[in-house]
Structure 1
Amino acid sequence: MVSLFGALGSTASSYSASKIPEATETVCNETVYNESACNETVCSENACNEIVCSENDCSESACSETACSETEIQCSASSQDTALTTTNYSAQMQAKMVNIKSDSKVYSAYTAAPAEEGNYPAIVLIHSFKGFEPGYQTMINRIAEDGFVVFAPFWQTYSDSPSDAEVEALIRNSIAYLETREDVDSERLGLTGFCAGGRYAMLFLPQIKEFKSGVAWYGFPYTGGSELQPARPASLIDKLDAPMLMIHGTRDQYSNITDIYKYAGKLDSADKYFELKVYQGERHGFMITENGGLSESFVAQDAYEEMITFFDRTLVTFCDRTLGNLTL
């Protein structure tokens, strides 16, 4: 099936290797958000160095810190040096910074969730090689408003180019963290990544079976074969069981579109379920602007909706089923 459309001078093509039920309306995870008049931010810091904020109907701010943290952290509605918002709360979502341990190291992570109490599907987001730019925070907040818990570990905390083994361990520990949260349905976990994170999405989706679906943005299916990156995602096709969506631009200057078509052909030959969304004329990293913000272009908005729709179909619509027992 191939569909073409154009707008604002751009065209996109969509290709599916096999059939999956179309998205339908469902009330299995319906959320009703109630707005309240909140002006006061009340912050507290716990022993995990986690900042949690809530809002009420006052106009003053009150903060408290426990004595467990060795480093004094100012409790505020915005972060310090990173230009990230460490705490964020709205009628639709709430977000915070947390720390998790992996291989005896401590990593920071940004996480956001729907504000309404519930049991939600969760998505692990792996940022690009350029780091956790502010645009990813904006995107994560929007994903949370769309009904998902999102967790984004800062995988470059100790090295710009850590080994695949280190990143895999961090992602597995991210899953372990999500499994402890009452607002997460651990049977409905998704994975998404951008640039180098797109390669990780292609690499880990076949290997980490807790993920029920994944979205790879401008990834690198044939990068590997080195000491730090021994495996190429294309070599793991036989292990892929979960549905995967790939999003790519035809003018990608780092990951050539011909490699994506080649990889898609191998997935098709192996009878693996995937979807490929190609945007005519788009370059590498088109979701994030040059100044690090989230792009608001037509293509970026359309691609975002493609991701959300895919996760809706693979993680939400089938909420009363087990994807492992579902024939796609």
Structure 2
Amino acid sequence: MKHRSLVLAFVVVIAILPMSVHAQDPTPLPITSSEVEIVSGEQAYVSYLATPNEGGPHPAIVLIHSFRGLEEGYRTMTDQFAAEGFVVLAVGWQTFEQNPSDATMDQLLRDSVAFLTARDDVDAARIGLTGFCAGGRYTMRYLPLLSDLFAAGVAWYGFPNDGDPSGTDLAGDLVDPLLIIHGTADDPSPIGDIYEYAAALDDAGSYFELKVYYGEPHGFMLQGGQLRTDEVAQDAYQQMVSFFQRKL
């Protein structure tokens, strides 16, 4: 979604914040979750949807899992996210291919948004995009390319220099707020690449926030396919929730 003005932000925090900084709602909303099919390119992608049972219309999130698939930890996160008041669709983008083309992903994301906007409980003007690992790359790429569909994004340990065009190539086209979450011990996607990407966004005058966790490796939110529940993981999760609450 096009914003009326751009505000430059270069926020870098290398720390672990106490959980009291991010007070969580003591009464999470009741939710309903189930597998759904997203039809795209004449194929049905098995995905996971979680929705609040009350109120609405709600902001919505398209969640793109990592290269390891739609693991149980992402389903847990999707449920928790819905309990915060978001309609969340975790897209099973690897249903048919391990590494689909960018053109396939482009259409799948468009069809995922169409699925959400057809629902009465979704506010079509407040749809966010978040992704992990390969999903982080997709977030860096498609937040600027599909700015008519998404209003904000959170990229987790993504790859800013992969793809043609890459997220770095598109830094000047980013018009919606982006939160980047990364760890300093990320070997597949070195933190230096993230700082260079941040510098490109800064030079372009594109709004972003950057949260860096010291000593955390690539894919740190999940361990053995399950969502981590320690202080680092809870803080990082709340960083995402707070960002979408502020920006959607």
Q: Please say whether Structure 1 and Structure 2 have the same fold, judged by a TM-score greater than 0.5.
A: yes
- Cα deviation, residue 5, structure 1: 4.2
| Residues 31 and 53 in structure 2, CA contact (< 8 A), matched pair in contact too | yes
Task: Name which of 158, 167, 181 aligns with 2:105.
Answer: 167
Q: CA deviation at 1:232?
A: 1.2
Counterpart residue number, 2:239: 306
Match of 2:200 among 243, 263, 266: 266
Report the 3-state secondary structure (helix = DSSP H, G, I; strand = E; otherwise coil) of the residue aligned with 2:104. helix
Equivalent residue number for residue 56 of structure 1 = none
Matched residue type, 2:43: K
Q: Give 1:2 shift.
A: 5.4
Shift of 1:238: 1.7
* TM-score (structure 1 length as normaliser): 0.68
Query: Secondary structure, in 3 states, of the residue corresponding to 2:185?
Result: coil
More helix by share: 2
CA distance in 2, matches of 1:4, 1:220: 19
Q: Which has the higher contact order (CA 8 A, sep 6+)?
A: 2
Normalising by structure 2, we get a TM-score of 0.89
- Residue 190 of structure 1, CA deviation: 0.3
Query: Quick check: which has more Rg, 1 or 2?
Result: 1
Q: 1:248 to 1:2 in 2, by over 3 A?
A: closer
Q: What SS does the corresponding residue of 1:205 show, helix, strand or coil? A: helix
Q: 1:294 aligns with which of 202, 224, 227?
A: 227
Alpha-carbon distance between aligned partners in 1 of 2:225 and 2:145, rounded to the nearest angstrom: 31
Please give the root-mean-square deviation of Cα atoms over the aligned residues, in Å: 1.9
SS of the aligned residue for 1:296 comes to coil
**Aligned: 1:240 with 2:174:** yes
Matching residue of 1:283: 217
Q: 1:99 to 1:145 in 2, by over 3 A?
A: same
Alignment partner of 2:117 out of 149, 162, 179: 179
Deviation at 1:168, TM superposition (A): 1.1
Shift of 1:139: 0.3
Aligned length: 231
Q: Which runs of 4+ in 1 moved over 6 A?
A: none
The alpha carbon displacement at 1:4 in A equals 5.6
Correspondence for 1:148 among 72, 86, 106? 86
Unpaired runs of at least 5, structure 1 = 9-22, 24-29, 34-90, 225-229, 316-328
User: Which one of 114, 119, 138 corresponds to residue 57 of structure 2?
Assistant: 119
C-alpha distance in structure 1 between counterparts of 2:12 and 2:196, whole Å = 17
* CA drift at 1:6: 4.2
Deviation at 1:117, TM superposition (A): 3.5
Deviation at 1:304, TM superposition (A): 0.2
